[in-house]
Structure 1
Amino acid sequence: MARTFRGSEEVKVDAKGRVSIPAKFRRVFEQNDPDWQPGNRPQLVIVYGSRKQNHLRLFTMQAIEEIDRGIARMRRGSPERTVLETMMNGQSEEAEIDGDGRLLLPLKLREKIGLDDRAYFMASGDYLKVWKPEIYDEEEEQLEALIPDFEPGADPLSLLDPEPMEEAGG
């Protein structure tokens, strides 16, 4: 089962704001939508966030449900919960992929991130980021600056926390 998104893709945006979701990404939305069956339209949630966010995030239904459970465990009224509820619930839209594999991006969301005739999808685990291609290019330069300097031959996977060892005999 394809649980996470992998890769990136640049796609056209038509005059009505529809973007074709590449098949490899559609499969992830389908497999992570508990209500999806062949012939149905996979559901997703578009998080557009605050004025500062310059991209959209397309979450699978399974990812959104996991986030919702996490928010529900937070202390009511806490600033952290309020921020997450606002972003994930108030600054989001439910959507679906149509029978032709397209997603309609509402005008207000296209305007928010400056989309015109092209969109750039970047996989981010259990969600996709959608950028205006030129803005992504600028962001990519900033991301490059965050990559630590490694000794020659060092493995970037060394940044991962080691998994706890399983108990012997269990």
Structure 2
Amino acid sequence: MTRKLRFRGESHHKVDGKGRVSIPASFRRVLEAGDPNYTEGLNPELVIVYGDKRRKYLECYTVEAIEEVDDKIEALPRGSVERRMLQRLFNTQSHATSVDDTGRLVLPAKLREKIGLSSEALFTGAGDTFQIWEPETYESEELAATEEWLDDLPDNVDPLIFLDGPSGG
């Protein structure tokens, strides 16, 4: 079985006035591996989903990851509210793009404004997707929520126990 590349780690990058931001090199390798049309010399494609108003970040999908989401949406009954809403969130409120020749993304103003991004972006790996955050928002909300979750666990509980399901076994 081939090992599937994953987005891992976090990295800060400058954003210029035109919304250009470098993608971490390791993330570019995952985008290349997750784009069935990618070949050496081409730029890998990706989809940036921005629609969920509750999310204060941009969620970036490889071509394969977004196709998996699309397949699940298409399996829902045609005309159902769930299908229409998910189509709106993942198809309408998304931005298909590619990495440029210098390893950067160009983030349109609408997307930067949605998350309050100005001069610096924080890239965070999330397995088969990655997120782009305004660094202070990540610190104050996402990191704080993780710390709170850990603080609520008894001292003798290792978070790895949750990998085996809700009962821990």
Instruction: Assess same fold via TM > 0.5.
Output: yes
One-letter code of the match for 2:153? D
- How far apart are 1:149 and its partner, in Å? 0.6
Q: Which of 147, 150, 154 does residue 150 from structure 1 map onto?
A: 154
Q: Does 1:161 align with 2:164?
A: yes
- How far apart are 1:75 and its partner, in Å? 1.6
Structural mapping, 1:18-167, within 5 Å: 18-139=20-141, 140-147=143-150, 148-152=152-156, 154-161=157-164
- How far apart are 1:22 and its partner, in Å? 0.8
Contact kept, 8 Å, 1:2 with 1:27, in 2: the verdict is: no
Could you list the runs of 5+ residues in structure 2 that have no partner in the other structure?
Answer: none
- How far apart are 1:2 and its partner, in Å? 4.7
Contact kept, 8 Å, 1:55 with 1:132, in 2: the verdict is: yes
Could you list the runs of 5+ residues in structure 1 that have no partner in the other structure?
Answer: 163-170
Q: Deviations over 1:109-158 (max 9, x none)?
A: 11111110000011111111111001001111123223351342x43211
Q: Deviations over 1:38-78 (max 9, x none)?
A: 10010000001133321101100010011111111112222
* Alpha-carbon distance between aligned partners in 1 of 2:146 and 2:77, rounded to the nearest angstrom: 33
* Alpha-carbon distance between aligned partners in 1 of 2:39 and 2:132, rounded to the nearest angstrom: 26
* Alpha-carbon distance between aligned partners in 1 of 2:80 and 2:95, rounded to the nearest angstrom: 24
Could you tell me which residue of structure 2 aligns to residue 7 of structure 1? Answer: 9
- How far apart are 1:20 and its partner, in Å? 0.2
* Alpha-carbon distance between aligned partners in 2 of 1:38 and 1:67, rounded to the nearest angstrom: 26
Q: How many residues align?
A: 161
